Amino acid sequence: MKKTTHLMFLVGLFLVNALSAQETEKFDFDLSQLDIPYQKFVLSNGLTLIVHEDHKAPIAAVNVWYHVGSKNEKFGKTGFAHLFEHLMFNGSENFDDDYFQAMERIGATDLNGTTNFDRTNYFQNVPKSALDVALWMESDRMGHFKDAISQEKLDEQRGVVQNEKRQGENQPYGKFFDLVTQSCFPNGHPYNHTVIGSMEDLNAAALDDVKQWFNDYYGAANAVVVIAGDVDAEEIYQKVVDHFGDIPSGPPVTHYGSYVAKRTGEIRQVQQDRVPQSRIYMVWNVPEWGNPEAFDLDFVAGALAEGKNSRLYKRLVYDEQIATSVSAYNWENEIAGIFVIQANVKPGVDNMVVENAIKEELAKFLKDGPTSGELKRIKTDYFAGFTRGIERIGGFGGKSDILAMNTVFGGAPDFYKTRLKGMKDASISSVKSVANKWLSDGVYVLHINPFPDYETTGKDVDRSALPEVGPAATVAFPQLERATLSNGMKVVLAQRNTVPLIEFRMIFDAGYAADQYAKAGTANLT
């Protein structure tokens, strides 16, 4: 028993010392362990190829990024980028069939395509033996696609996208992003509309418009191809030249730089939705993807709402039990970002109780910054997540995805090292400074409340004929009081005491009929 007690004491002492060390020691992590070796090639037609060799399994990830998203859409033509993503799976000029079925037959996994504000990507993992098939398919829809677009395919995928839009907006709180994009980004800003676009614009999308979109943005020079896995870089380069080398570069594409629509003051909106409980959103406009200040904002989100020991979760959900959930995230996009705090209000609790609690905790954070323990926890979580991600060659967060993203948005496949260093070097003072710069003003507050359960009476009046008009009502006018001033002006007073208002009106016995004694129009001019 004494040995057990002594052992427990030593374990406890170790844990206390470890926690104390976390509060004071600098975060120590060897960034060289997270290196993703690659070779970069640029074909003569402008196509960028990134190759990463990973020989642990006989598979390869093919990830194609086109530097075009909804921010490239013109007014009145929203939703084109996402609609086109769907069309690209419907067959090309030399393979006029469903891409999903063809790729699944060769054993493809992690197979999909996505569109956001800034880019459209297509990705799949395939057995090494099927890599040529994947390259043939991707190159055929990049270089041989326009003539495969038919009115029938356009109408079909238009319907699919519109149904997707309905499904998304009919989900609880589904109109949030519509309201955020319109309220947080001014008219004319590329992020002023959602990625999926409007029903009206989707209905108006014509076949020629869609083909023009392909011509404008799907050229080789506006694309990055990343291949990672059990491959040889020089061999892959030759395969890509063979498959993609004859594809035209496409026209020059204009890309935005940083365009952060920082706001001042407070904007408030209230929406009703068919939801079981109220939800509060608080949103700030913040820096773009890759901005060092965006790295620090990740620590703000982590300290406020990441994990059950985070500040907002502990107070709102655990201690005071005024909310059922709370989250915070820094959503980075290529030219601007938004920082979001979200809380579901416990039924029966006033929204303002929760909102004020959020503001109080945020004010404390702005005043004191994060603790060293919070920094260490968030850094550990981040590096653990990144490390887990690069175990995979494909899919979201895998090595091919990281290399493609950093090439398109950061200008270099290894720009991710800049973020890793920024996350490692973040300090209490840097996080506090950035938080005050971006989150002390310019908040957009949205309350989404349950739509009440209204009921009808179940009865209606007789509508077979118009009702009869009743007898005329009697009208009681005020007693008029009259007087004449010494200059001959007559005064009439009609007195009512319903409102504290005095109204004067002066009438002269001379209108346009008096023009007979003067030039026509004199009375009106007077």
Q: What is the pLDDT of residues 377-402, one digit of tens each?
A: 999 999 999 999 999 999 999 999 99
Concatenated DSSP letters of 404-419: HHHHHHHSSGGGHHHH
Q: Measure the CA–CA gap between 273 and 278, rounded to whole angstroms.
A: 9
328 and 438 housed in the same domain: yes
pLDDT bucket at 21, cuts 50 / 70 / 90: very low
Q: Is the pLDDT of residue 25 over 50?
A: no
Q: Is the pLDDT of residue 44 over 90?
A: yes
Which of 450, 466, 495 corresponds to the end of one domain?
450
Cβ atoms 279, 173 nearer than 8 A: yes
272 and 238 housed in the same domain: no
Rg of the chain over Cα atoms, rounded to whole angstroms, equals 33
Q: What is the pLDDT of residues 45-91, one digit of tens each?
A: 999 999 999 999 999 999 999 999 999 999 889 998 999 999 999 99
Angle subtended at Cα 228 by Cα 224 and Cα 234, rounded to the nearest 5 degrees: 85
Q: Is the pLDDT of residue 2 over 60?
A: no
Q: Measure the CA–CA gap between 197 and 478, rounded to whole angstroms.
A: 61
Q: Measure the CA–CA gap between 239 and 231, rounded to whole angstroms.
A: 11
Residue 277 resides in a domain: yes
pLDDT at 497: 87
79 and 144 housed in the same domain: yes
Give me the amino acid identity at 133: V
Contacts of 416 (CB under 8 A, 6+ apart): 36, 402, 405, 406, 410
117: tokens are 């504000």
338 and 485 housed in the same domain: no
Ramachandran region of residue 439, left (φ > 0), alpha (ψ -120 to 50) or beta? alpha
Q: How far is CA 265 from the centre of its chain?
A: 21
Q: How many helices (H) and strands (E) does the chain have?
A: 17, 13
Contacts of 148 (CB under 8 A, 6+ apart): 90, 91, 92, 93, 96
pLDDT at 8: 40
pLDDT at 4: 41
In three-state form (DSSP H/G/I as H, E/B as E, the rest C), the secondary structure along 103-143 is HHHCCCEEEEEEECCCCEEEEEEEEHHHHHHHHHHHHHHHH
59 and 112 housed in the same domain: yes
Q: Measure the CA–CA gap between 256 and 72, rounded to whole angstroms.
A: 9
52 and 201 housed in the same domain: yes
pLDDT at 311: 98
Q: What is the pLDDT of residues 271-294, one digit of tens each?
A: 999 999 999 999 999 999 999 999
Cα–Cα distances in Å, from 74 out to 177, 180, 190, 192, 400?
A: 19, 19, 9, 11, 31
Residue 266 resides in a domain: yes
Residue 461 resides in a domain: no
Residue 20 resides in a domain: no
235 and 274 housed in the same domain: no
Range 126-131 contact pairs with CB under 8 angstroms and sequence separation of 24 or more: 126/59, 126/60, 126/62, 127/58, 127/59, 127/60, 128/58, 128/59, 128/60, 128/229, 128/230, 128/231, 129/58, 130/106, 131/60, 131/62, 131/227, 131/231, 131/239
Residue 22 resides in a domain: no
pLDDT bucket at 7, cuts 50 / 70 / 90: very low
417 and 294 housed in the same domain: yes
Cβ atoms 162, 202 nearer than 8 A: yes
- Over range 329-337, report the average pLDDT: 97
User: In this prediction, what percent of the chain has a pLDDT beyond 70?
Assistant: 93
For 480, phi then psi, to 5°, come to -85, 135
Residue 467 resides in a domain: no
Direct distance between the N- and C-terminal alpha carbons of the chain, in angstroms, rounded to an integer: 112
What's the CATH number where 323 sits?
3.30.830.10
pLDDT bucket at 249, cuts 50 / 70 / 90: very high
Give the domain range for residue 297.
258-450
For the chain, give the mean pLDDT: 91
How are the residues of the chain apportioned to helix, strand and coil, as percentages rounded to the nearest 5? 45, 20, 40
pLDDT bucket at 113, cuts 50 / 70 / 90: very high
Cβ atoms 121, 114 nearer than 8 A: yes
Q: Measure the CA–CA gap between 275 and 386, rounded to whole angstroms.
A: 35
Cβ atoms 277, 349 nearer than 8 A: no
pLDDT at 514: 66
Q: In which residue are the tokens 């319907």 written?
A: 159
Q: What is the pLDDT of residues 250-268, one digit of tens each?
A: 999 999 999 999 999 999 9
Q: Measure the CA–CA gap between 90 and 283, rounded to whole angstroms.
A: 38
| Strand 443-450 relative to strand 266-273, pairing | parallel
| Strand 480-484 relative to strand 490-494, pairing | antiparallel
- Over range 301-310, report the average pLDDT: 95
Domain total for the chain? 3
240 and 270 housed in the same domain: no
- Over range 97-110, report the average pLDDT: 92
Residue 472 resides in a domain: no
Q: What is the pLDDT of residues 446-501, one digit of tens each?
A: 999 999 999 999 999 999 999 999 999 998 889 999 999 999 999 999 998 889 99
Q: Is the pLDDT of residue 241 over 70?
A: yes
- pLDDT top residue among 13 and 383: 383
pLDDT at 525: 73
Residue 394 resides in a domain: yes
Q: Measure the CA–CA gap between 296 and 162, rounded to whole angstroms.
A: 38
- pLDDT top residue among 154 and 26: 154
pLDDT at 105: 94
Q: Is the pLDDT of residue 407 over 50?
A: yes
pLDDT at 14: 43
238 and 303 housed in the same domain: no
419 and 288 housed in the same domain: yes
Cα–Cα distances in Å, from 136 out to 119, 140, 141, 303, 322?
A: 22, 6, 9, 47, 56
78 and 173 housed in the same domain: yes
Model's pTM, two decimal places? 0.85
321: tokens are 């039990």
